[in-house]
Amino acid sequence: MHKQRAFIGHHGPELLDDGTTRFRIWAPDAQNVSLIVVGAQTLPMTANEDGWYSIDAPYGAGTLYRFLIDDELQVPDPASRAQAGDVHAPSLVVDTSSNYLWRNPNWLGRSWEETVLYEMHVGLYGGFAAMEKHLADLAELGVTAIELMPIAEFPGDRNWGYDGVLPYAPEAAYGSPEELKHLIDTAHGLGLMVFLDVVYNHFGPDGNYLGRYAKHFFRHDQQTPWGDGIDFRRREVRDFFIDNTLMWLLDYRFDGLRFDAVHAIPDRSFLTELAERVHASVEPGRHVHLVLENEDNRASLLTAGFTAQWNDDGHNVLHALLTDESQGYYADYHQDATTKLARFLGEGFIYQGQNNRRGEARGEPSGHLPPTSFVLFLQNHDQTGNRAFGERLVSLADADALRAATAVLLLSPMVPLLFMGEEWGARQPFLFFTSHHGELADAVREGRRNEFAEFAEFADEATRERIPDPNAVSTFENSRPDFSARQEPGHAEWYALYRELLSIRHREIVPRLQGAHFLESRVLAQAAVLSRWQLGDGSRLRLELNLGTQAAPLPTASISGELLFASREATHAHDQLAPRMARLYLEKAA
């Protein structure tokens, strides 16, 4: 068992050696601030420079407290380490240095090349403690890293997590900080890394009081899809989020973070500073991975301290080919899809400065990056949950074509991400859910339904009313995967496929990934391509992929190599590739 020293940041309470606590808050627009100790007393705080208020008070771990702004508004600590309930409840002083004894203190993580990510929603598993019961099965399957959807304290007890308003506090409905640490510790004992999805581009609509006493946390001249942008020009704001990153990595020992929608953070210098601070703060030899979601395809960030980016381009073109869907953003991928498929497999991003359907240039050149700079997925919370009825790909695509795409997902040199339940072909939907109330609940419900107004099948209001209410308990419950179905007919076959492919990946691909790079990718026929990658040991990986309905001609010049996997039996001549089929060969270096 091992205790570790707590990370001390600029924001939030600090336990002092004499048993007292230093409380502080940045409230530059407040005239005065007091500390309310629940069940005890209210103490005036000292106004310091640059809008800070502080007080050293004779209270320790377990103390419940709030701040009183201008003698009229009680608020939680915006850097609360835990809440005694919901976002409007009192904050809780937590002793992060001694509240948990680590059983695996020498864990240093795993290399990025070994990563197989598995995205999970903690609430659907029943909380931190309940989630632990599933970790051994994931490790046995071949998963090497779980990725938790956001867990920052949000209003209510059901939410995707992107409505969080207290980013330092683990959601109380999921469990305590100690239970979260136990989950991470258990994962490490099984050889699993743990990643966390964090949201630094906006706050949720309920429970965020910052605008009342720290107006300059936001900038009104810069709008995001969620309202005023966050003002990352200010030192206090930068430290708020960078310290949050360091808390998760140092106090909780997460192995990596996924940064949500950084295209809504236009201040690139904040992102590069964050990466620099992280790499300077973690202990030598420890693997820590920083992963972006970035619709702008800023490839240059992937040589500025960030490990990889979610490759929405790859998902979108594969989805368009698998389903023939062309509405919304799939319109950018449905047209000339085969050429775009070849570009994605041969260079990473599809949009590298080209105009999208709106005539907007998007992206930067990416072919010089290693394939491991891209996280590939066929499904995730966004791509499944942002469908009106949350259908999973197994319900939308031809089974043979989906098996072929799954081979690409798990055997290409890109880093794969699975979405909970896909490995056994789960058919339960993953819907958008919240637990808002009153006028906000009505606005969220109507806003959700109006998002689909531009789609032909939802053109009339009556049809849109069939879209599940995000605030209904049934919407949440219907999204819970049936974990007992894994070995049932129709599911066991998918599970066996994922197990086989991950075994091949760890045996043949992972040991050769370091130093890999793109070689070529060319069109064979409609929806069919041939792609090759140079691996780090000098061997070459070759993919023959046909997602179309007609056989595709193969080059006459034979290429030697060991067949690693074929997604179905060959039914055509050796110079043709059958429809809806993938084959991967490994040509080993001499």
For helices 399-411 and 312-323, the axis angle rounded to 10 degrees is: 160
Between strands 218-224 and 227-230, the pairing is antiparallel
Q: E strands, 256-397, where?
A: 256-259, 289-292, 308-310, 374-377
Side-chain half-sphere exposure of 319, counting CA atoms within 13 A: 27
Distance CA 223, CA 226 (A): 8
Burial of 51 (0-12, 13-18, 19+ CB in 10 A): middle
Distance CA 586, CA 275 (A): 35
Task: Give the three-state DSSP class for 353.
Answer: coil
Question: Tell me, what DSSP letter sits at residue 102?
Answer: B
Q: How many residues does the chain have?
A: 590
Task: Give the three-state DSSP class for 230.
Answer: strand
**Beta carbons within 10 angstroms of residue 563's beta carbon:** 10
Distance CA 430, CA 419 (A): 10
Question: Tell me, what DSSP letter sits at residue 305?
Answer: T
- Buried/exposed code over 224-246 (b: 16+ C-beta within 10 A; e: otherwise): bebebbbbbebebbbbbbbbbbb
- Name the residue type at position 475: T
- Name the residue type at position 42: T
545: its two tokens:
């992929």
Question: Of the candidates 118, 186, 124, 179, which has an alpha carbon nearest to the alpha carbon of residue 147?
Answer: 118
CA 334 to each of CA 35, 318, 376, 412: distance values in angstroms, whole numbers, following the listed order: 57, 9, 18, 22
Task: Give the three-state DSSP class for 345.
Answer: helix
Task: Give the three-state DSSP class for 498.
Answer: helix
Distance CA 194, CA 151 (A): 13
**What's the distance, CA 480 to chain centroid?**
18
Q: Which residues pair with 377 in a beta bridge?
A: 417
CA 531 to each of CA 469, 536, 545, 584: distance values in angstroms, whole numbers, following the listed order: 43, 17, 8, 10
Please report the DSSP string for 530-571 in residue order: EEEEE-TTS-EEEEEEE-SSS-EE--SS----EEEEESS---
Question: Tell me, what DSSP letter sits at residue 588?
Answer: -
The end-to-end CA distance of the chain, in Å, is 48
Q: Which residue numbers are catalytic?
A: 260, 293
Task: Give the three-state DSSP class for 289.
Answer: strand
Burial of 200 (0-12, 13-18, 19+ CB in 10 A): buried
Distance CA 357, CA 490 (A): 39
